[in-house]
Amino acid sequence: MELIQRPRRLRGNEILRKMVRETRMDKSSLIYPLFVKEGTNIREEIPSMEGQYRYSIDRLPYELEELQKAGVGSVMLFGIPDHKDAVGSGAYDDQGIVQRALREAKKQFPDLYYITDVCMCEYTSHGHCGVLCGHDVDNDATLELLAKTALSHVEAGADMVAPSDMMDGRVRAIREMLDKNGHTGSPIMSYAVKYASAFYGPFRDAAGSAPSFGDRRSYQMDFHNRREGMKEALTDIGEGADIIMVKPAMSYLDMVSEVSKAVNVPVAAYSVSGEYAMVKAAAKNGWIDEERIISEMAVGAYRAGAQIYITYYAKELARLMDEGRIG
């Protein structure tokens, strides 16, 4: 048969396949989520996330050293306090768990890049992402507390803040608070396109942040909606967001693609706890090849348009890149 077009010509061997690869990954684009909690000498495995741990501040440096050796240069910190109250005061306490963890981490590993999750859910006694008015989250009353939290993180050493609460106007409130206090160079990565997803279940186990009543669908987005996601992304950019995040990643790659085409800022995709837990469970049962699956998931996010990938598999992906098996 006389064929002019033979796409298989460029698939003949590994060197050629890598030469013509359209999507490329780099370890510098990986962010690893870390959970820090009160106490000492704690490295506590999270039951629903095998291989992930809650660390006390004194054990955190051991994990940071492992990340640095792996070539993963960025971490995102989530705090698990002992004390919770109605207004989530531990979130913006200068001596809060994240603030103290930042100071220690910065002292021991100053070359790593520290991003902090800015939200109230881990710190409120009711588990919602803001202060309540009856059984509803009071959007505007929450903004001041989120801004105070972001400022306290930056002043403790955070290189970037990432608000995940989904309150209207939070990016603007945080930007104004940071600028007013001289932190004009501190970037904001907004959880802008954040859906009310069942994929978050293991995270709520990890952080102890499940709401004590109701759910978060009055502030996180309905997963049926595409245009609403675009509206959120563009609104947050207008308020001063420097990076836009889509969360979750795997079931929302259409949104990663659409957002990346519509905005002029970097786009991050968060491969969330449920994605991690499903892969771990299936791999443990021998049903899938774990390394190939996580490679496909990561490449899928980059192929869709993400420049940043937040994943609990950051260390494994970094190793696979070093071995030339992904990248």
Active-site residues, by number, are 194, 247
Of 151, 157, 160, residue with least CA distance to 180: 151
State the alpha helices, DSSP H only, in 157-226. 170-180, 201-207
Which amino acid is located at 128 in the chain?
H
What CA–CA distance (Å, rounded) separates 7 from 96?
57
Torsion angle, CA of 46/48/50/52, rounded to 10 degrees?
Answer: -40
Task: Map tokens 């396949």 to a residue.
Answer: 17
What angle separates helix 97-108 from helix 60-70, to the nearest 10 degrees? 50
What CA–CA distance (Å, rounded) separates 165 from 168?
9
- Partnered with residue 308 across adjacent β-strands are 268
The contacts of residue 69 (CB under 8 Å, 6+ apart) are none
Of 203, 180, 217, residue with least CA distance to 117: 203
Backbone φ/ψ region at 75: left (φ over 0), alpha (ψ -120 to 50), beta: beta
Q: Are 35 and 78 in contact (CB under 8 A)?
A: yes
